[in-house]
Amino acid sequence: MNALQTNERPQIVIVGAGFGGLWAARVFKKAAVDVLLIDRNNYHTFLPLLYQVAAAELDPSQIGYPVRSIFREYDNVDFLMAEVKRIDPDNKLVHTAERAVPYDYLILATGSISTFFGIPGAAQHTFTMKSVEGGIALRNHILRIFEEASHAADPQIRRKKLTFVVIGGGPSGVEYAGALSELIRGPLSKDYQHLDMDTARVILVEGTQRLLGAFSDSLGVYTRARLEDMQIEVRLGALVSSVTAESVTLNDGTTIGTETAVWTAGVGGEGIGKRSGLDLMTNGTLKVQPSLQLPGFDDIYVIGDLAAFEEEDGRFLPMLAPVAMQQGEHAARNIHRQINAETVEDFEYVDKGSMAVIGRNAAVAQIGTHAFTGYLAWLIWLVVHLVQLIGFRNRLFVLLNWAWTYLFFERMVRIIISDKVKEN
Ligand SMILES: Cc1cc2nc3c(=O)[nH]c(=O)nc-3n(C[C@H](O)[C@H](O)[C@H](O)COP(=O)(O)OP(=O)(O)OC[C@H]3O[C@@H](n4cnc5c(N)ncnc54)[C@H](O)[C@@H]3O)c2cc1C
């Protein structure tokens, strides 16, 4: 028997404290419902700045915020740190490893994971940027490889160590390639003065004929030119056919010797749908009704990256933070409507624009039909990301870090932190 049937307050379970889950939970402030927010981490991750953690620019704590702190003022929101294994929609249960949590209404917001299109070696030998742990691992690897290169006597080995391949020319690939190049040409070239940094290569590999496919053509062209100014080799129309620990091979047969391949080329829905035996889209997302409800289950909403939301023109909404935030709020409002025996409403996305940063003083922004590049776009990017960060302290420290980087061409976070505990 559920809470509705016993006249208790409705129990709303939200799985995922990312952009979608947080924005949904906030709508329930002071509502006569009990909300349980579940996440495997005790913090929210601001993914748009994760690449800066991986490029030694920001400390991980500056892009994470404890979930319990966010909901201190909410009497009706509780948090459970747990990995959700699957859901059982027929019995209205969410299964974690330790317990089965009942719900009256459920919001699934577990986001996305990297997908590798079955490319041999890609899953095993590439770094991904989908979690704080992944960002730290990549940062440690980059810093470690410079230590190794600095003592490599064989020029061929040195060259391989100093070759970095970023796979995927969307916003994440562009942003990371730019940040990595600035790290290498700036602070690392000062730290490793005996290393010939002209031999260091950052290669951005993109399967289509242009960068930033979701932006207008002119912005893709501008981005390529700016990246090339930053000594980044851009390879368009190049599909990766295999990856090993020491190379990336392209479909034209070229093999690039490298110990660093960064994968930003494919994302799909997190596996909760698959683990629960639900009908999936080919990329693992869950197709939702216009109201964001899961077909056949009016008490389950799916939002954010996990949701496949088809617009009237037949296109699906992109995996972006504003989509997740707006869907989170909409799903929560629809649950209110259901509780009040009102009709649920269809979701409509309000597109406020897209942005990607390339490097110092260079970014692209598409706001409606207006396209911005260069310093103005870079300033818009800085302000928007700073405002969206959660927590005053995080905003302040990120701003300080950015100012330091900008003024002194330095990076604040350059220590290699081992994941092994040492006694001394
Ligand atoms: C590197 C990177 C850069 C990006 N840059 C931008 C950008 O500049 N602008 C933009 O708009 N978007 C950007 N995005 C996309 C944006 O971050 C996502 O669209 C957005 O985070 C989706 O929100 P969400 O709530 O669906 O999922 P997420 O924000 O990913 O949250 C999912 C949450 O679910 C939790 N979770 C997952 N599985 C489980 C489980 N089984 N059990 C318990 N908890 C679980 C996770 O820990 C996480 O907290 C970027 C993404 C990445 C990876």
Residues 105 and 164 in one domain: no
Residues 197 and 109 in one domain: no
Residue 152, class by beta-carbon neighbours within 10 Å (0-12 exposed, 13-18 middle, 19+ buried)?
middle
**pLDDT value at residue 25:** 98
State the total domains in the chain. 2
Residues 279 and 145 in one domain: no
Domain final position from 339, 355, 376: 339
Residue given tokens 């330790």 in the structure block? 98
Residues 107 and 179 in one domain: no
DSSP 165-214: EEE--SHHHHHHHHHHHHHIIIIIHHH-TTS-GGG-EEEEE-SSSSS-TT
Residues 254 and 281 in one domain: no
Average pLDDT over residues 64-68: 95
Average pLDDT over residues 96-104: 96
- pLDDT confidence bin for 7, thresholds 50/70/90: low
- As a whole-number percent, the residues of the chain with pLDDT over 90 amount to 88
**pLDDT value at residue 228:** 98
Nearest CA to ligand 1 atom 27: 111
* Active-site annotation, residues: 175
Q: Is 57 a member of any domain?
A: no
What is the per-residue pLDDT across 135-173, written as a single tens digit (0 to 9) for each?
Answer: 999 999 999 999 999 999 999 999 999 999 999 999 999
- Ligand 1 pocket, Cβ-based, cut-off 6 angstroms: 15-21, 38-41, 45, 47-48, 50-51, 83-84, 109-111, 129-130, 171-172, 270, 272, 304-306, 319-322, 324
CATH number at residue 272: 3.50.50.60
**pLDDT value at residue 209:** 96
Q: Which domain holds residue 17?
A: 11-40+82-114+268-339
Residues 189 and 276 in one domain: no
Domain final position from 222, 248, 265: 265
Distances (CA, A) of 204 to 69, 110, 142, 164: 39, 29, 16, 9
Probe target for ligand 1 pocket from 37, 110, 390, with the most ligand atoms within 8 Å of CB: 110
Nearest CA to ligand 1 atom 8: 48
**pLDDT value at residue 3:** 46
Computed over every residue of the chain, the mean pLDDT equals: 94
What is the per-residue pLDDT across 209-258, written as a single tens digit (0 to 9) for each?
Answer: 999 998 999 999 999 999 999 999 999 999 999 999 999 999 999 999 99
Average pLDDT over residues 64-93: 97
Residues 256 and 132 in one domain: yes
Domain final position from 339, 374, 396: 339
